[in-house]
Amino acid sequence: MHALGLNFIFSSNKRIKIYEQATCCAKNGISKSDLDRINNVIEKLEIFKIHIERYNLSTSPMEFVNNEAVHNLLVEGGINQLPITVVDDKIVYSRRYPTKDELIEILGIDELTKLI
């Protein structure tokens, strides 16, 4: 149940993955406020049973190797390409986190705009 007493479960057939740098080593312009913002948005989406997979380079390095598009982008552009957002196996953003509105658009659930 949502904190406001609402009980919503939204469904989206989109599979979203975010590939991230080890936070201790982040030097690519991603600020703590950027990280706090995406953490907050993902936490709110989880309330509505919407899951975004996250992979950290230091704890899940094989995920970066196993995803061909992510691996190729990192080989070509280096670690500064992180964070990388992948939707249904296609890279949609690199070098930054998606905004709340961008995630809602990707999910195709306009009703979330007022709830998160």
| List of domains in the chain | 16-114 (3.40.30.10)
- Cis preceding linkage at 83, omega within 30: yes
Instruction: Please tell me the distance from the alpha carbon of residue 70 to that of residue 85, in angstroms, as a whole number.
Output: 9
pTM: 0.83
Per-residue pLDDT tens listing for the chain (116 residues): 444 444 455 556 789 999 999 865 555 678 888 999 999 999 988 888 889 999 999 999 999 999 999 999 999 999 999 999 999 999 999 999 999 999 989 988 776 666 66
Instruction: Please tell me the distance from the alpha carbon of residue 41 to that of residue 19, in angstroms, as a whole number.
Output: 16
Residue corresponding to tokens 């094989």:
62
